[in-house]
Structure formats: C-alpha cells, structure tokens
Copies of this chain bind each other. A is one copy, B any other.
Amino acid sequence: MWPEFKRRKLEGYLEAKKRNEVDEDIIPLLDLINSFEDFVTLSSCSGRIAVMDMPEFGDKVEAKFLGKWHRCVSFEEVFEAIKKGKQTTWLMMFPPIIHVACRDLESAEKLMTIANNAGLRRSGLISLKHNVVEINSLERLEVPVAIEGRMIVGEEGLRVMVEFANKKLKRSKEKLKRLYDLLLRLSPQGSPKL
C-alpha cells in the first residue's frame, strides 16, 4: 500500500520538477523530505508576494494575479502591478505551504513536531486518509491598496507595506531553511539525491 502510494506520488513530483512546475528554491527541501521512506510530498508553494485583483471581497475563484513573485520585490514592481488593477486590488504575502503524506500516524506526528520546532507553527494533520501533514507558517500580509485603479494607500504607506511583505517572506523562508537543517540531521543517507 504505502510503497506503491509513495512511488506513484514521487513520480508525480519528479515529473512536475522536470516540467519546472515546482518552485525552485524549495526543491532541496522537497528532495530531502522525499528521501525519507516514510514521507512523500504532494504539493507545495515556497511562499510568495502577490498583487491580486478581486471582483468581490474574498471571491478568490475569480481573483486575478496582476503580479506574483517567489522572492523579495521592489516598490516599483509592486506599483506597476497595482496600476493594472481594475477592481479591488490587494497586496498579499502568502507563507510557504507544503503538503506531505506520511506512512503512518507516528511518522506524521514526528514531522509535525519537527515543523513546529522549525517555527512553522501552523502545521497540522489535515487528512487522516493518507496522513497528510500541512506545513504552514503564520506570516501573512493582506492589504487592500487600490479600488478601481485609484490608490487608497499613499506612496510612503505602500513602501512600508512592501518592506513588511519582504521581511515576512524572508522570515518564512528562513523557517524552511531551519526545517531543512532539522530534517538533514535525521536523514539516514545524508544529502539526498533524487
């Protein structure tokens, strides 16, 4: 059961990696997680800053990305993206998120503990069918910045917000690094090769 499930999911991961569909900066961590017999990654995002246009409050289905970055951004990049907004335009920072299926509850608990120790304090089991652990952090920024193309935040305010988004993204990525270090110590084979 588990070996077959893991084999199938790992294949999916390796193919997504080949098609460049995996955030590059998170690949070493995903490879490391997958090098453990008891874990396999299902999906991931390494954290990002985005400018989004939304037709109606919270209606994310119809939300449109005006800009999306998996790295720190400049004020100018964000400002250019906001200028394209036609509805309610938000500046957002999303923390990293990784879904990992675990062989059993024991290994899931181990992973949750390690993730929490790395500072990823929004980690928990979200499905018991395949013991899926969601690794997640608390950093977040969600600010409405323009309405129908009109800025509702001044330039100085926007500069401060971009700076905070960058700081939060950096901090959340440091936690991924810490998770990598903690897992590496437990890894049976040292640095993984996939």
Q: Which of B124, B140, B154, B161 is the one whose CB lies under 8 Å from A125?
A: B124
Q: Is the CB of B157 within 8 A of A152?
A: yes
> Is A53 interfacial (CB 8 A cutoff)?
no
Instruction: Please report the C-alpha to C-alpha distance between residue A140 and residue B94 in the assembled complex, in whole angstroms.
Output: 12
Determine how many copies of this chain the complex contains: 2
Task: Find chain B residues with CB under 8 A from A125 CB.
Answer: 124-126, 128
> Is A164 interfacial (CB 8 A cutoff)?
yes
Instruction: Please report the C-alpha to C-alpha distance between residue A114 and residue B168 in the assembled complex, in whole angstroms.
Output: 32
Q: Is the CB of B160 within 8 A of A144?
A: yes
What is A's interface to B at a CB cutoff of 8 Å? 57-58, 105, 108-109, 112, 122-126, 128, 134, 139-144, 147, 152-154, 156-157, 160-161, 164, 167-168, 171
Identify 17 new A-B residue pairs, CB closer than 8 A, beyond the known A125-B125, A140-B142: A57-B164, A57-B168, A58-B139, A58-B167, A58-B168, A108-B128, A109-B128, A122-B122, A123-B126, A124-B125, A124-B126, A142-B142, A143-B161, A152-B153, A152-B160, A154-B157, A157-B157
